[in-house]
Structure 1
């Protein structure tokens, strides 16, 4: 599958690569190399994680394409069970698996000629912001983390968006999900949750749904592998396992949290910034929403990211 939503710079080489995580799942990935890359050099490298429901041909590739022009090797990948990566049944999501995919990406990069394994950083977009931070909590090989429009997916499932799920609603949800597991065990046909990005945009659509639909469901960001749907029962593991309860373990490695001024998800980054001991920075992009920072190259603060990683990775 190709269908990249951007044009590759003539100053960058892109290679399709693959590697396995510790569960044995084969991850499909793209390696972006600066035009003057040589294997006898020692380059800093960045892993760019996709939004929750996104794939490597969308926002991650835009970031990798730009940052490779700025002196970094960049790796993008499709999460386990999604996109072009292996795993069955399709569209499963899991906090441990999606965090493990970052660890496996470090494994891969740190064993490639021309890459300095002591200078590997992570950029996590949307849900991958939480997964990348979570990986860094226990993986000191990740020397610095930047998040962009971060979502804490475990918190979103456990609390509802912005804490909208009360105890009664949570009990009802867990009852439904647990009974759904019996049905799927018998049928062996997992049920999919509703799309995160509605297919139709009309006057009744919720503003947050509209924002996602204008990207995922329109030519702007459409990719056939990016359905913004996961199996319904995937929610149970996220409700049970917090992602960001050990942020203090990252210190003294630096964290940069990039967020749009008008992002509906801004509070996730603000809360992570408050919880992390530092060094840390919350960087607010003026006149930007959550999805703007997926692909709007006039709004994405590439210079800020470049400066952050040049200092952090040495």
Structure 2
């Protein structure tokens, strides 16, 4: 394949530490029954139970998640949260860590694998769509709202990184969601179509779309999608945020064998769906439901949260975490403001 233009390069840089496509592409139906040795990147709280669940989205794709329930839950229905992200991660990583922490604080929490990734179904593997990702959040709300131990009028969502944008998009369209919070938020359609800090020119964009179109013909001829080239080791000279991603996804800190970003790969044509489908067109329709945006002071992604805050309607809040970088809000429990998240959701899910 010809070398991609600056826009595609920017997209691939964010899409993670890519590797060969043949790794961990098993059908998730074969992986539903996990054992006690299942790999999680965090320890389960002794105050919480965790159980594997499945549910279908509106497109008929079966999603797999982990449901975290407080052990001291009484007989009254509890408020609930759905969590996913970062983009290319799985529920055994950040979203599960968040779910574990929030369940300790009294919520029933569903952390789930998005369509086409992790243990969730969908073929081909490791492809993404802003529409389907938004739908995945609403289908998680479907699931939570029919559980007897959950108050369906008290459901919120949390989106981490690229799933921050999808969580806002889902909240705008799904009025059942009563409050939304994001951490290290990315607008994936913006970064794919305009590059980081919107530096991509119309000429760059046209060139990328031409190359992606050519790749579609190659995929059609081969009968299968091609995957991004290997990028699972640092070679020197990478941007600081790439080093930070590597430190999370490719080290024992956050590595998970099913994560797209942990040495697996997105399809080359994954950016296509994001190039002309802005997901935050109706951002103001989240109001009057509350929004909490959390970003690191030194995060390369900080401008996404700041711009959303400027453009959103009240009630809204922007919380900047001093000295934190983007991936600090993935797993550093001493930095992630879980007390703030608890207060926010308990105040607004009532």
Aligned residues: 311
Query: Could you tell me whether the CA contact under 8 Å between 2:117 and 2:260 is conserved in 1?
Result: no
Aligned alpha-carbon RMSD (Å): 1.1
Question: What is the DSSP-based 3-state SS (H/G/I as helix, E as strand, rest coil) of the residue aligned with 1:48?
Answer: strand
Would you identify which runs of 4 or more consecutive aligned residues in structure 1 move more than 2 Å? Answer: none
2:234 to 201, 207, 217: 201
Aligned to 1:114: 149
Distance in 2 of aligned mates of 1:277 and 1:67:
26
Aligned to 1:177: 212
2:188 to 153, 156, 165: 153
Question: What do the CA deviations read for 1:204-241 (whole angstroms, capped 9, x no partner)?
Answer: 22211101000001111000111323212121110110
- Give 1:202 deviation, angstroms: 4.4
Highest RCO, 1 vs 2 (Cα 8 Å, sep ≥ 6)? 2
Aligned to 1:226: 259
Question: What do the CA deviations read for 1:100-124 (whole angstroms, capped 9, x no partner)?
Answer: 1001000000000110000000000
Distance in 1 of aligned mates of 2:339 and 2:325:
19
The TM-score normalised by the length of structure 1 is 0.97
The TM-score normalised by the length of structure 2 is 0.87
Aligned to 2:131: 96
Aligned to 1:138: 173
Aligned to 2:248: 215
Distance in 1 of aligned mates of 2:236 and 2:132:
37
- Give 1:86 deviation, angstroms: 0.3
Distance in 1 of aligned mates of 2:192 and 2:321:
27
Distance in 1 of aligned mates of 2:202 and 2:228:
21
Question: What do the CA deviations read for 1:131-168 (whole angstroms, capped 9, x no partner)?
Answer: 01000111000000000000000001110111121111
Question: What is the DSSP-based 3-state SS (H/G/I as helix, E as strand, rest coil) of the residue aligned with 1:182?
Answer: helix
- Give 1:194 deviation, angstroms: 4.8
- Tell me: CA distance 1:204–1:282, structure 2 relative to 1, closer, same or farther (3 Å): same
Query: Could you tell me whether the CA contact under 8 Å between 2:73 and 2:106 is conserved in 1?
Result: no
Distance in 2 of aligned mates of 1:288 and 1:194:
30
1:1-314 → structure 2 map (5 Å cutoff): 2-38=38-74, 40-194=75-229, 198-228=231-261, 229-314=265-350
- Give 1:6 deviation, angstroms: 0.4
Unaligned runs of 5+ in 1: none
- Give 1:186 deviation, angstroms: 1.5
Question: What is the DSSP-based 3-state SS (H/G/I as helix, E as strand, rest coil) of the residue aligned with 1:240?
Answer: coil
Distance in 1 of aligned mates of 2:321 and 2:229:
30
